[in-house]
């Protein structure tokens, strides 16, 4: 399955309706994006159970801003509606495959518990600073 074009209109539905979504932020003028594109597309063909999507940063500036895209290509990955990876840079095929396997193996109950713990400790720290 080829990568789908992600826009602000279909973004939330795509994230909510799929277990794992990979997002390639790119632009037509970007040389590294052009070299990463075929690697991303090949991975999409190989891993048909995942959703591979592309965001054209020139057309979808609001989405690019939401993800604070400063350098492209940038890869973001959601698993069960949680952003678990976001890094700029083109990856070789082997590294992308390894990353996909790591994301598949993530224990999302543990990830959510870690996020909740970080949020709770941050709230406590903020409360202590204000009460002292």
Q: Which residues are known to be catalytic?
A: 30, 33
For β-strands 74-79 and 4-5, DSSP reports them as unpaired
| The token pair that represents 58 in the structure block | 């020139």
Residues 36, 103: Cα–Cα separation, whole Å: 19
CB 78 within 8 A of CB 72: no
Query: Which of 107-130 are b and which e, b meaning 16 or more Cβ less than 10 Å from the residue's Cβ?
Result: eeeeeeeeeeeeeeeeeeeeeeee
Residues 6 or more apart whose Cβ sits within 8 Å of residue 28 = 56, 58
């Amino acid at each position: 399955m080829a990568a789908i074009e992600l826009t602000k209109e279909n973004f939330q539905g795509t994230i909510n309706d799929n277990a794992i979504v990979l997002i390639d932020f790119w632009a037509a003028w970007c040389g590294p994006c052009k070299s990463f594109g075929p690697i991303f597309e090949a991975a999409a063909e190989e891993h048909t159970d995942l959703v591979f999507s592309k965001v054209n940063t020139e057309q979808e500036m609001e989405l690019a801003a939401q993800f604070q895209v400063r350098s492209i290509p940038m890869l973001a990955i959601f698993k069960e509606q949680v952003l678990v990876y976001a890094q700029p840079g083109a990856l070789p095929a082997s590294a992308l495959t390894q990353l996909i396997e790591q994301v598949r193996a993530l224990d999302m109950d543990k990830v959510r518990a870690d996020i909740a713990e970080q949020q709770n400790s941050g709230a406590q720290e903020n409360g202590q600073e204000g009460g002292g």
